[in-house]
Structure formats: C-alpha cells, structure tokens
Structure 1
C-alpha cells in the first residue's frame, strides 16, 4: 500500500522537478561504472611499466582515500534530501561561490573527459570500419548519447546498467582466465610461464624503488575519475536512504575486485617488465589463450567502457547545469525540464561543447599529446571537486552538529580523515609537477579558475 502511494506521488510530480526514477540496480551499476574508469583498460599497461607490482598498492591507497570522500558525500546528501548534488551542499555549507565554482568545474570536468571519450570511441570504431569517416563516427556517437539521455531518466539508467554489465563480465573473465593460466603454468612470454611468483621474481614488489611507486600515482588517479558520479544521481534515486549507502559501501570491494585482482592476474601471466606500456595488457592476455577473436572482443569492451563514461558525462553535465540554473549561477533556461523531466537545454548545450572539443582535437596534429593534456586537466579538476566535498563536510560538522548526531550514515573517522585525504591530494599534485607531460597540464589548469573568478565577479556586478 505504501509502495503504491509512493508510485502515485511520483506520477503526480510536477515536471518542474527532477523525478526519482532510478532504481537500486541502476544506482549500483552506475556506481560500478563510475568506479571502473577507462584508465583500467587503457592506462594499466603504462602504470605497470612505471611502478611494477607495487602498482597494486597504489590502487589500494587511492581507493582507500576516495572511499572516505564518498562516505563524506553520502552523509551530506542524506542529511538533507533537498541537496540534488554536491554543488548544492557546497553552496549551502561553504557559500554561493563554492556552489558556482563546484558546479561549473564539475561540468567542465565531464566536458573534457567526454571529449577524450568521444575521440577514443571514434578510434575504436575504425577497428571494424576503417573506411568510415572519423568525423561521421564522432557525430554518430554524440547523436546516440543525446538520444539515450533525452528520452527518459530510466532509459539512461538502463543503458548505463548494460554498459557496466559488459565491463564487469570482461574484467571477471580476465581475472578467471589469468588465475587459470597461472595455475596451469601456461607458457606466456619469451620462455616465461604464468605463475603468481611472477609478482616478486622480477626485482621484487618494488622493482623501481620509491620513485617508480610514486610515479604510478600520476596515472592511476585518472582511473578513479567518475567515482563520485553516484552523487549526481541523488535527486533521481528512489529510496536514497537505502540505495546510496549500499552503493558507497561497496566501493572497497569493487576496488579490490576490479583493480587489484585484475592487475594481479595480468602480472601473474606476463611478468611486469614484459608488458608493453602502449598496448592493452587485456588484449595480450586473451591472445595467449589462442582466442582468434580476442582483439575484436577487447576492442568492443574498451569501446563500451568509453561509451559508458561519455554517457555518464552527458547525464552529469545536464544535471549540473540544471542545479546551477536553480541557484542562479547559470542561465534560467537550463532549469527548464521536458515533459519527461529531462533538462534538455543543459543536455544540448553540453553536446555542442562536446562537438567543439572534438573539432579542436582534430585540428591539432598530435592527438595523443592533446589526449594526455586533456585527461590530466580533468583529473586535477576532479581532485578539486573531491576537496570541495571534504571542505563541505567540515563546514557541515561545524554548522549542523545535530544533523550529524541524527545521521544513520556517518563518515568513519570524521573530520580527521578529511584532513588526511586533502593532504593526500596535495601529495598527488606534487607528483604531477615532477613529470613533464603532467606538469604542463598542472600549469594550464589555473586558467580555468581565473575564467570562473571573472565570471563570478561579473555575476556579482549584475546582481548589484
């Protein structure tokens, strides 16, 4: 009876508000999709070559830190269900400037990431259709994502559900195949045989010392971009008090299963010093099984992984623009919803920016240089978002102690862990400054905040 009345209430909701049409299975799989970045498929070869087996500890440390960021976000979102995303609680707890900077930065993060994803998808598409125009494949890709997002929120949830299922099946298959090959001592590479002892036989767990271990952080952090995506679904989640905690608490298990076990399987089959940094170790492992369609299968998986990221990005950017418009930090037209409760204006604007970015990348000859720059900028900006979440939590503990006492989903270790996580992000930024390719991105990123500060100043003048 209660469930029926809830359904009736949802059906009668005004289209002036986002509707709670995402079920538990959608949120769980969106959370998994966010936790498994394209970096695992595309960047794992490079991270292994930099750090060797110690990369396992790098992923564990990053996953451990981000779990606390997600717990802080979870407690904040559930403390007040009027918060639609972290932009809302940042504005409420830190001030309107924080909502403005957070909302627009998160929007830009996903536009930048989306540009990289669309370019990657277009390149993967060429694997099967080499004569098909790369411009047409990019346009087709963006067109498909607009169609998926413009229909209904539930259709987005369904597509993300199936995209994530493909990722999970591929990684589980990789882990199972890897451990079977290791158990059979299967011949792997240049006379080597697959065995768990490959993890420590080639120079130990830290073959490149602390410098190699630290170098692994620079790329590994990119793989976790999007882990906070579950926070942007809060306004469209049924029974958030039950669903969000379940999705957030599962993050440690996902990190261990999808990152750590996958990397152990890869390095058990092929010694770390035999893995090519510019090739996907996923392809190499499946090729060892003698499966002739391995390259095609892995290409499909990587394509769907990039598609999942781009699809999530389109969803996030449109919702963030909707929130900004409601706060008065973006044009009021972005607050308009379609009859299906989808912020179509925000969606179309993000789509146009995505196409402009694709055009820019193809105008610059060295695509990989731009790709590295773009993804590094994105990761730096995501660390800014994660820091804002932690700062908001500290402000929440100071301003609303009674809400914290009443919370059924408290952040473990509370305020102390916030400072530890922020110190960790500063440490990662220092590491980014040490490498030439990432240093350039670190120097370029402040331009975005200068643009935002100018926009905030103009907004203040208009209000006056």
Structure 2
C-alpha cells in the first residue's frame, strides 16, 4: 500500500489530487465546498492574526526597532516550515494535514499526539478570542454583559460552520478581506505620512530617523532580538490552515502550491511592512505605543480621527476571523483523528452537506467550557490551559520538519510525480530549521517570562505522547488475538 493509499483511506481524501470524493452512504467524506477565492483569501488572511494588532506593542517595547529582526527571523522560519508542509500537502492532500503525514512517516504515536495537541491549542484559542471579542463589543453596547457577548459570538460562528464548509469559507473570505484592506491602507497611508507626503498629516515626516534616533537600532542590546522572537512567534500561528482547507477544494494541489509560493510576500508585507510603518511614525519608546496599542498610536500620530474605534473594528474582525478559522481547524483535525481511530468514531461522520457536525460540536463545547473557566477561574484553571497550549505552535512546526525528512523519501519512492512543490536545499535547510526551532524552545526554558509556558506545554505533550504509546502497545498486544 502506498503512502497516498494510506492517506486516502485514513483521511477520507481523494486518490487523485483535485478530485475529492463525494459523500458515500457511510457519510464519512468531506465535500469540496471551498472555492478558489475562499482559499486565496484564507491563505492571505491566515498570516494576519489578532496577535499582530494587539501583541506587537509588547515586542516593540522589549526590543525597540530591532523587533524588525525578530519578526524577520520568525518569518524566515515560518516560510521554511510552510515550504515543507506545502511539499507534503501538494503531494498528499488530507483533511488532517501534518497529523496524517506524521502518522505515516513517524508512526501512529506521532500523528495521534500532534493531532490532539493541535486540537487542544485551537479550542483554547476559541476561548481567548471569544473573550477578546466580547470585551470590544461590551465597550460598544455595555447593556449586554461580557459573558453574553462571548456566548453570542461563539454561537453565531458555530452556526456558520455547521451550515456548510462553503458558509465557513464565505465568512472567512470577508473577514480576511477586511484585515487585508486595513493593513494595506495602514501601510500606504503610514508611509506617506512618514515621509511627509500625506496632506494635512500631524506627523512630522521624519522618514527613517526614528529607527535610530532613540538609543540606536538596538536600544535594548542584541539579546533583545531573541526576547522579541519569543514574543512574536505565536502571532504567526495559522499559516498552516490553508493546507487543511485545501482538502475541501476542487483542486487542492493547485491551492496548496499557490499558498506556499506566496507566503514570503505575505509575511514581508503584512508583518514586516506594518511594523516598519509604526516604527517610522513614532519613536519606539513613545508611551502611546504601550498605552493605546502600536497601530492606534501610529494612526493618532498622523491625525486620523477616531483611530481607536477604527482599530477596534479591525481587531474585532481579526478576532472573529480567528474564531471562525479556529473552530474549522479544530473540527477538521478531530474529523481526521476520528477517521484514523484516534478519536471517537462519531467525529468522522458527516451530514448530508459533508459537515462533520460531531467534530464541530465537540470542539465548540470545549471552547465554551474554556470560556467559563476564563470567567470563573482566570488566574488558575484558565491560566493553566493557556500556558500549557502556548508552545504547541513550535511543537507543530518541529513535527512538520521531522515528518518532511521522512516523507520526501517515501514520496520519491512511491509517487515522485506528486512532488510539484519541493523544499529548498533539502535536507540541509530542513535540518537547519529543526535546529532553529529547538534553539527557540531551549531559550524559552531559560527565559523567566516564557519558562512556565514551555514547561507546562512540554508536560501536556508528554502526557499525550505517553497515552499514544500506551495505546499502540495495547493495540499491538491485541492484534494477534483478533486475526
């Protein structure tokens, strides 16, 4: 049996790229309900998380203008990881993406472990984003309590995911569109103001001066670059969503290839471009960056009225987008785990529209529970959930790298024609990326602010891996008796 045969049977994906199977009588197949425009916008908007809007201020405060190097380093790492994932996803489109590839290349324990950890990460994100959105909405309509707003947001987006995958894609198309337009407008207007070309701007138009006029480009020292890396690395999580979504498109191979090839300019423009504009408009240590948020402070320095409310709309859109994508991603990973026997069988069943209802409802149920924990025990139970899922992004990227080292050989032996996307300088860049990720994880252990997060994440990962190994050994012991 070839690797593609295995992925097809376990993941419910087509035997030929670009030809998804229709629902069979068993109701265990996803449908190709995502259009090319949906996937294009998911690919573009997937790299623009809410963390970019609300988390960049802390990175700027910690590293000054050198935060640009931090973003660039993480961006390079993400580009390399996405290239590896793109190689595997273009050759073997699958609803479980890297979890299914790890299952095939590294063993059942690896696919089980990384699949459940990734699911755990996203259901915790659901609670975080629902709360963040509720805070903004309560500020606009205080008559509705915050917990009610969180409930409303979760219910609405659960409904869109339950209707059909096309409904998810349509909502995400518009959510991502707002983010893309907002960032593009911010960069264009900001650059004009920074160089004194924006009529009526309140900004002095200092050009590149603010990059060095307040303590130099490295005001907090060279070590602050690594501190900045730890602060910004998690805002990049979500780039890989398009490889899961591609499995529900008419031409998954083409969708993955386009998304992989465009990830460089997406990160360069949306992350590096927008942060550069903030640093051009304001000195890095301007108190407004911390007090109001980097993007709001930058807009106010230009003289744009109601900058705070404008950014609240954009941030709310980013939050809703992250919620929508998070629920979709968690449910598809649960679906894939169910198909492989690593989760309840109900997760692998779909309704008449090809929607895995049980997988969606189970994911959102955990999200609701996490929201309750956030309101009832924010500093204990929810803090544990948050910290124990914090380093999962790095674990996922590490597994993708290790999997690609093995999957390249498997694909070259069994279906070399499927290698339409290839990792650059294989295997050297793959190994270098593994080294980069391991270095970041080790550095986190020695960083006071990140130590608890990485240790708790390692603890949870250790528990999940132990369960996976025990299950495999129990299955192996039962195998001779069931033949």
CA contact (8 A) 1:112 1:375 kept: yes
CA contact (8 A) 1:87 1:103 kept: yes
Is 2:322 the counterpart of 1:295?
Answer: no
2:184 counterpart residue number: 172
Note the residue ranges of structure 2 that are not aligned, 5 or more in a row: 1-15, 479-483
Note the residue ranges of structure 1 that are not aligned, 5 or more in a row: 1-5
Distance 1:277 1:295, change over 3 A: closer
CA contact (8 A) 2:44 2:176 kept: yes
1:3 counterpart residue number: none
Q: Aligned equivalents of 2:70 and 2:305: distance in 1?
A: 33
Comparing 130-139 and 151-160, the one that deviates more: 130-139
CA contact (8 A) 1:215 1:431 kept: no
Q: Aligned equivalents of 1:370 and 1:214: distance in 2?
A: 27
SS where residue 436 of structure 1 aligns? Answer: coil
Q: Aligned equivalents of 1:195 and 1:376: distance in 2?
A: 40
CA contact (8 A) 1:49 1:272 kept: yes
SS where residue 227 of structure 1 aligns? Answer: coil
2:391 counterpart residue number: 380
Is 2:347 the counterpart of 1:327?
Answer: no
Q: Aligned equivalents of 2:412 and 2:420: distance in 1?
A: 14
Alignment counterpart, residue 245 of structure 2, candidates 185, 208, 233: 233
CA contact (8 A) 2:84 2:401 kept: yes
RMSD: 2.3
TM superposition shift of 1:456:
2.4
Distance 1:131 1:350, change over 3 A: same
TM superposition shift of 1:365:
5.2
SS where residue 424 of structure 2 aligns? Answer: coil
1:309 counterpart residue number: 322
CA contact (8 A) 2:35 2:249 kept: yes
Question: Aligned residue pairs: how many?
Answer: 452
1:356 counterpart residue number: 369
Alignment counterpart, residue 65 of structure 2, candidates 53, 62, 84: 53
Structure showing the higher helix proportion among its residues: 1
TM superposition shift of 1:412:
1.0
After superposition, what is the alpha-carbon deviation per residue over 1:221-273, rounded to whole angstroms, capped at 9, x for unaligned? Answer: 01101111112113202212222111111111011110111111111111111
Q: Aligned equivalents of 2:397 and 2:256: distance in 1?
A: 17
Comparing 428-437 and 35-44, the one that deviates more: 428-437
Comparing 441-450 and 158-167, the one that deviates more: 441-450
Is 2:294 the counterpart of 1:281?
Answer: yes
Q: Aligned equivalents of 1:381 and 1:12: distance in 2?
A: 33
Alignment counterpart, residue 48 of structure 2, candidates 36, 40, 50: 36
Distance 1:394 1:271, change over 3 A: same
SS where residue 337 of structure 1 aligns? Answer: coil
2:413 counterpart residue number: 402
CA contact (8 A) 2:327 2:363 kept: yes
Q: Aligned equivalents of 2:291 and 2:309: distance in 1?
A: 18
TM superposition shift of 1:309:
0.8
Is 2:261 the counterpart of 1:249?
Answer: yes
Q: Aligned equivalents of 2:94 and 2:146: distance in 1?
A: 43
CA contact (8 A) 1:31 1:247 kept: yes
CA contact (8 A) 1:79 1:403 kept: no
Distance 1:236 1:395, change over 3 A: same
SS where residue 393 of structure 1 aligns? Answer: helix
Q: Aligned equivalents of 1:72 and 1:384: distance in 2?
A: 15
After superposition, what is the alpha-carbon deviation per residue over 1:61-84, rounded to whole angstroms, capped at 9, x for unaligned? Answer: 211111111111111122234565
Q: Aligned equivalents of 1:450 and 1:320: distance in 2?
A: 20
Q: Aligned equivalents of 1:441 and 1:379: distance in 2?
A: 6
SS where residue 219 of structure 2 aligns? Answer: coil
After superposition, what is the alpha-carbon deviation per residue over 1:120-139, rounded to whole angstroms, capped at 9, x for unaligned? Answer: 11111122012311111111
Alignment counterpart, residue 318 of structure 1, candidates 331, 336, 343: 331
CA contact (8 A) 1:121 1:306 kept: yes
After superposition, what is the alpha-carbon deviation per residue over 1:313-338, rounded to whole angstroms, capped at 9, x for unaligned? Answer: 10011111111111110110111101
Distance 1:12 1:404, change over 3 A: closer
Comparing 9-18 and 204-213, the one that deviates more: 9-18
Is 2:110 the counterpart of 1:102?
Answer: no
After superposition, what is the alpha-carbon deviation per residue over 1:436-460, rounded to whole angstroms, capped at 9, x for unaligned? Answer: 2321112211231243135325534
Q: Aligned equivalents of 1:403 and 1:89: distance in 2?
A: 15
Distance 1:81 1:366, change over 3 A: closer
Q: Aligned equivalents of 2:114 and 2:296: distance in 1?
A: 38
Q: TM-score, normalised by structure 2?
A: 0.88
Distance 1:153 1:213, change over 3 A: same
CA contact (8 A) 1:21 1:237 kept: yes
